[in-house]
Structure 1
Amino acid sequence: MRPFIQAENLSKRWGELMLFENISFTVFEEQKVALIARNGTGKSTLLDLLAGKDTPDEGVITITNDIKVGYFEQVPQLNPEHSVLEEVFDTDNEKLRAVKQFELAVAQNNQQKIAEISVKMDELNAWDAEVEIKQVLTQLKIVDLEQQVGQLSGGQQKRLALAKVLMQKPDLLILDEPTNHLDLEMIEWLETYLEKTKSTLLMVTHDRYFLDRVCTEIIEMEDNQIYRYQGNYSYFLQKRDERIEMQQASVAKAKNLLRTEQEWMRRMPKARGHKAKYRVDSFEEIKEKASRRLGEESVELSVKSARLGKKIVEIENLSKSFPGVKLINNFSYKFSRYEKVGIVGKNGTGKSTFLNLITGAMQPDAGKIKIGQTIKFGYYRQEGINFDPQERVIDAVNKIAEFIIFEDGSRMTSSQLLTRFLFPPDTQYNYIEKLSGGEQRRLYLCTVLMQNPNFLILDEPTNDLDILTLNVLEDYLKAFEGCVVVVSHDRFFMDKIVDHLFVFDGNGTVTDFPGNYTIYRNEEEEKLRLESAKSPAKTTDKKQKAEEAENSRNSKTKKRLSFNEKREFEQLEKDIPELEKQVAELEKSMNSGTLPHDELYEKSLELEKVKTLLDEKEFRWLELSELG
């Protein structure tokens, strides 16, 4: 495998903060690599350097000359004056330019232009590109191609930017948190797409299922060291634990040796000048090794929750609509103590609206929400980070409380709490504008939890948090003495936390599903499999179709097929049996009972596509047979 991109001795400082120093690694052709590191260690900055958006303070980045690099940034750089169509095709890719010209000609119904560009599309073999572009846009719910980019929401702009970079088919694809602002269905589609793509991949993501299924290698950046793991996320967890155990054993050994060496240094002061200089040097090395901090920093989230009474939250016949959209229709539910509920559904189905209704930030069209007297909400909003960027970290926390009481009755100052949240004293007096996106989210989470809530509402809490912080948040929520309602597209997070789900279908129906996300998804796949198995086989007898066509032809004026139509008809005679064969093979495979769930789901999607294509070709065959 040839190296696609090499980083040698890279260093980058942001003001007084050293993000990383003297790091090196290589990404080779065909690899699918994930980068894992704590928030604030410069993951996004590193990707900016590799993509040529920024320059390192020291070090060299080498990219193989003939490769194309596609970069999906956390904050996309789009032209707000462009239409969606213009932005999608704002590229130097020749195939995509040809597809753009073809789409414009079709939109203008310019037959001469369509004919001219069709020849060019043939030459470039661009027809497959046109089909794939439409599939990508459809899967990412980008439907209004005439809408102005500046009118799109932040999530829509991110999906447009993702579609744009995927369509360019780069040799090296660099993705920074690609699953943020995607619903679960989109994430699963993207998972499949990236598994199959021939592009070399380097990405940062906190979605552990996504990482586990897509990536074949993991690069961990910790304490200015690079550790490589040849495997997926499950393998990484195993090997990382082994590495830390070995390092801790090494540090413990160094500390024991240090005591011996310290005794020698005290007893032999005259020996330092000449004969035992090697021993003095060895002492300094051991001292450095023994003082290394390997007791991993972790976010301790054991803030005390307020007492929970018998009456929690009772929802009676709740309904909420917006013009042309019914989000919630006649929904009732009574919350019990300590239950943890996950909310799933496509974007725009009313999940965040439901949270706003519970907290009183929005009023229902009909129905009632009764809140118990002891309930104290802690609401973590997607858009809730509204710190003053010129304010210091410690001041933002002191506004809420200068002392915090924990479950065991102990007290802690706000500064001590921040240290526990991985904001050391020297960082606490930094201005908030200097924090990374993930660090700001961690600070926001801290301010929500320290208010002593007993009913937590979390709207996409996992976006931009690093995996290590997510692990500790999950442990906290599992032990939380209160109710939790969480909206998240992080399937791993949902599986670990929730007892059951509210499923929003987008048509007003909210279903209470008794299980976590994986159980729900497996049941949905099973339903799809059974429906596919029960669907009646298509009538494919050519003689019967010919008779139907003949009957139809008798009642119409007979027309002759053009030369191109004859060729199309002959090709259909070949394509239809092949598609029928594919349908039979897929149905046989799905009914075998031997396929794992992920492969079964892929087969069901493929079957649906093949059947749709078969229907189209059979209908066209009938049309042409009537003209023959």
Structure 2
Amino acid sequence: MKPFLQAENLSKRWGELMLFEDISFTVFEGAKVALIAKNGAGKSTLLNLLAGKESPDNGIITLTNDVEIGYFEQIPDLNPAHTVIEEIFETDNEKLKTVKAFELAVAKNNQEDIAVISAKMDELNAWAIEVEIKQILSQLKINFLDQKVAELSGGQQKRLALAKVLINQPDLLILDEPTNHLDLEMIEWLEAYLEKTKSTLLMVTHDRYFLDRVCNEIIEMEDNQIYRYLGNYSYFLEKRDERIQMQQATVSKAKNLLRTEIEWMRRMPKARSHKAKYRVDSFQDLKDKASQNLNTNLVEMNVKSARLGKKIVEFEHISKSFPGVNLIEDFSYKFQRFEKVGIVGKNGTGKSTFLNLITGTLTPDSGIIDIGQTIKFGYYRQEGITFDPKEKVIEAVQKIAEYIHFEDGTKMSATQMLTRFLFPPETQYNFIEKLSGGEQRRLYLCTVLMQNPNFLILDEPTNDLDIMTLNVLEEYLKSFAGCVIVVSHDRFFMDKIVDHLFVFEGDGKVTDFPGNYTVYRNKVEEEEQIKARTEAKIKAEAKMEAKVEKPVQQIKKKLSYKEQREFDELEKEIPELERKKTELENLMNAGTLPHDELYEKSLELDKIKTLLDEKEFRWLELSELE
């Protein structure tokens, strides 16, 4: 494998904070690499260095000759004066320039220009890339080509920046949290796109399904060490656990040996010290090993929640619309104690409106929302809160409470609470502006939970949180003594937390689906496959009828011996596959499978459905000849 990018002994400091020091790794051609590290470890800074946006304090970054980098940043670097189409095609690539001219000619319906540019498209063989560009723009819902970049929302700008990077088809794609601000359909499309792309990939993402399905290598950055895992996210989890156990065993062994060595050092006669210099040196090495701090601390969240009464939240025939768009129509539902609901649906179908109705930010056009007297909302908003950047971390928490009370009756000071949320004492007196984006989101989560809510509303809580924090948040939510509503594009997070879904289907329709996101997607895909099979069967029958010029008896031929045997086998195999499919669906819908087994069963179900489609189509072909 040819190395595309090499980082040697990189160091970077931000003010007084050392982000990383003397780290080295290589990205090889064709690899699909994920970078994993805790918030504040400098992931985005490292990507900026590799993309040439910043310079390291020390170290060397080497790119193989002529490797073109495409960099998608968390905060897009776009020209606000450009229109969307101008920004997309801001490139020196001749093919892309020609495609841009063609699209503008089509938009203006200039037939003369269309004819001239079409000839050039033929000459450059640019039609294939034009089709791919349209697919990318369509899938990322970029249909506002004449709009100014400055007029776009934050989410639209992120999707535009992502489209721009993908369209240029660079040799090396560097992506920093590409799934943020994408809906679930877009994420699934991007997942499939990156699986197939020939570009080498280096990305930071917290989306664990995405990691598992796209990446074949993971680089973990922890305590200034780089650990390389040649496998996907599942493999990484297994090997990381093995690594930590080995390190803990090594440290434990070193501590035991150290006790023996300390005793020996104390008893060693000074006159003989020169004869045992090697042992004195090894004593120091042993001391270093034994004092290793295996930083496996995780955020602990067991904050007390206010008592829930019998009445939670009740919706009675709620409707809400805005001019030209019907978002919620005649929706009724009574929340029960401790239930956890996920909300899914395309952008613009009313998900955020629903949350604003619950919290009273909006009022319904008709219907009643009845909220129980004991309900205390904790609302984690997608846009977060605006901290005073000149305020210290400890001051932001003390504004809410000096002491926080827990389920077991104990209490904790604001300083202790922050330490539990992985803000050590030296960080607590830093100004908030010095925190990374992920650390600020963790601080925000801390301020929401410490107010003792019993009804949590989480709007995209996974954005900018590292995987370690997400794991602990998931465990906290599973045992949370209250109700939870989650809007998230993180499928892994949704699968782990929710009992059922509110599916916002558009035009005011909201459906209550009994199951998590994977079960829901499997059902949708099954319905789509049934529809596709039915349409294919109708087309095949229509095609056969159209070909009939003589009586059917005259044009039909007998099956060959081989075809007849195949036909007989298919009649046995299809019912067996149907049985297996039903068995798997019932097992997955039972809600008894652990998460990893549920994922494996979903993959098995996909394979069976694909095989069933093939067998049924072949049976249809042979039955026409029988």
TM-score norm. by structure 2 comes to 0.87
Give percent identity, aligned residues only: 75
SS of 1:442's partner is helix
- Cα 1:362–1:86 change in 2 (3 A) is same
Per the TM alignment, residue 121 of structure 1 is displaced from its structure 2 partner at its CA by 1.2
**Structure 2 Cα separation of the partners of residues 283 and 360 of structure 1:** 66
- Cα 1:508–1:200 change in 2 (3 A) is same
SS of 2:453's partner is coil
Indicate yes or no: 2:78 matched with 1:78: yes
1:204 counterpart residue number: 204
**Structure 1 Cα separation of the partners of residues 107 and 228 of structure 2:** 50
The residue type equivalent to 1:165 in the other structure is V
**Structure 2 Cα separation of the partners of residues 604 and 449 of structure 1:** 48
Pairing 1:137-148 to 2, within 5 Å after superposition? 137-148=137-148
- Cα 1:603–1:319 change in 2 (3 A) is farther
**Structure 2 Cα separation of the partners of residues 443 and 337 of structure 1:** 28
CA contact (8 A) 1:525 1:601 kept: no
1:500 counterpart residue number: 500
**Structure 1 Cα separation of the partners of residues 252 and 198 of structure 2:** 46
1:537 counterpart residue number: 539
**Structure 1 Cα separation of the partners of residues 475 and 213 of structure 2:** 24
The residue type equivalent to 2:366 in the other structure is A
1:125 counterpart residue number: 125
SS of 1:379's partner is strand
1:172 counterpart residue number: 172
**Structure 1 Cα separation of the partners of residues 471 and 83 of structure 2:** 41
Per the TM alignment, residue 543 of structure 1 is displaced from its structure 2 partner at its CA by 11
CA contact (8 A) 1:385 1:441 kept: no
2:331 counterpart residue number: 331
SS of 1:537's partner is helix
Per the TM alignment, residue 111 of structure 1 is displaced from its structure 2 partner at its CA by 3.1
**Structure 2 Cα separation of the partners of residues 6 and 123 of structure 1:** 38
SS of 1:78's partner is coil
1:616 counterpart residue number: none
SS of 1:360's partner is coil
The residue type equivalent to 1:200 in the other structure is T
The residue type equivalent to 2:539 in the other structure is A
Per the TM alignment, residue 294 of structure 1 is displaced from its structure 2 partner at its CA by 1.8
SS of 2:501's partner is strand
* CA-to-aligned-CA distance 1:129-157 (integer Å, 9 cap, x gap): 11111111110111121111111110010
SS of 2:293's partner is coil
SS of 1:352's partner is helix
1:316 counterpart residue number: 316
**Structure 1 Cα separation of the partners of residues 315 and 347 of structure 2:** 23
Pairing 1:31-46 to 2, within 5 Å after superposition? 31-46=31-46
1:230 counterpart residue number: 230
Structure 2: runs of 5 or more not aligned = 550-570, 582-602, 615-626
The residue type equivalent to 2:87 in the other structure is E
* CA-to-aligned-CA distance 1:89-147 (integer Å, 9 cap, x gap): 11122211110011122233333322322222122211011111111111011112111
1:3 counterpart residue number: 3
Indicate yes or no: 2:460 matched with 1:441: no
**Structure 1 Cα separation of the partners of residues 609 and 284 of structure 2:** 59
TM-score norm. by structure 1 comes to 0.87
CA contact (8 A) 1:88 1:164 kept: yes
Pairing 1:358-507 to 2, within 5 Å after superposition? 358-507=358-507
SS of 2:367's partner is strand
The residue type equivalent to 1:199 in the other structure is S
SS of 2:506's partner is coil
**Structure 2 Cα separation of the partners of residues 313 and 465 of structure 1:** 29
- Cα 1:406–1:539 change in 2 (3 A) is same
- Cα 1:600–1:51 change in 2 (3 A) is farther
CA contact (8 A) 2:384 2:441 kept: no
Indicate yes or no: 2:278 matched with 1:278: yes
Per the TM alignment, residue 277 of structure 1 is displaced from its structure 2 partner at its CA by 2.1
SS of 1:100's partner is helix
Per the TM alignment, residue 487 of structure 1 is displaced from its structure 2 partner at its CA by 0.5
**Structure 2 Cα separation of the partners of residues 134 and 59 of structure 1:** 41
**Structure 1 Cα separation of the partners of residues 79 and 451 of structure 2:** 41
Per the TM alignment, residue 534 of structure 1 is displaced from its structure 2 partner at its CA by 1.6
SS of 1:203's partner is strand
Per the TM alignment, residue 542 of structure 1 is displaced from its structure 2 partner at its CA by 11
**Structure 1 Cα separation of the partners of residues 3 and 334 of structure 2:** 58
**Structure 2 Cα separation of the partners of residues 487 and 354 of structure 1:** 11
The residue type equivalent to 2:185 in the other structure is E
**Structure 1 Cα separation of the partners of residues 22 and 169 of structure 2:** 32
The residue type equivalent to 2:362 in the other structure is M
**Structure 1 Cα separation of the partners of residues 20 and 491 of structure 2:** 31
2:349 counterpart residue number: 349
CA contact (8 A) 1:529 1:604 kept: no
CA contact (8 A) 2:258 2:287 kept: yes
CA contact (8 A) 1:532 1:604 kept: no
Per the TM alignment, residue 533 of structure 1 is displaced from its structure 2 partner at its CA by 1.5
CA contact (8 A) 2:33 2:202 kept: yes
**Structure 2 Cα separation of the partners of residues 80 and 301 of structure 1:** 42
The residue type equivalent to 1:57 in the other structure is D
The residue type equivalent to 2:350 in the other structure is G
- Cα 1:368–1:307 change in 2 (3 A) is same
**Structure 2 Cα separation of the partners of residues 508 and 210 of structure 1:** 30
Structure 1: runs of 5 or more not aligned = 548-587, 607-628
The residue type equivalent to 2:35 in the other structure is L
Per the TM alignment, residue 423 of structure 1 is displaced from its structure 2 partner at its CA by 0.5
**Structure 2 Cα separation of the partners of residues 347 and 355 of structure 1:** 14
SS of 2:503's partner is strand
**Structure 2 Cα separation of the partners of residues 62 and 522 of structure 1:** 44
- Cα 1:105–1:55 change in 2 (3 A) is same
CA contact (8 A) 1:211 1:233 kept: yes
Per the TM alignment, residue 372 of structure 1 is displaced from its structure 2 partner at its CA by 0.7
**Structure 1 Cα separation of the partners of residues 90 and 168 of structure 2:** 10
**Structure 1 Cα separation of the partners of residues 451 and 574 of structure 2:** 52
**Structure 2 Cα separation of the partners of residues 40 and 60 of structure 1:** 22
Indicate yes or no: 2:118 matched with 1:115: no
Per the TM alignment, residue 402 of structure 1 is displaced from its structure 2 partner at its CA by 1.0
Per the TM alignment, residue 604 of structure 1 is displaced from its structure 2 partner at its CA by 12
CA contact (8 A) 1:318 1:329 kept: yes
Pairing 1:12-27 to 2, within 5 Å after superposition? 12-27=12-27
SS of 1:505's partner is strand
SS of 2:493's partner is helix
The farther-off stretch of 534-543 and 287-296 is 534-543
CA contact (8 A) 1:51 1:69 kept: yes
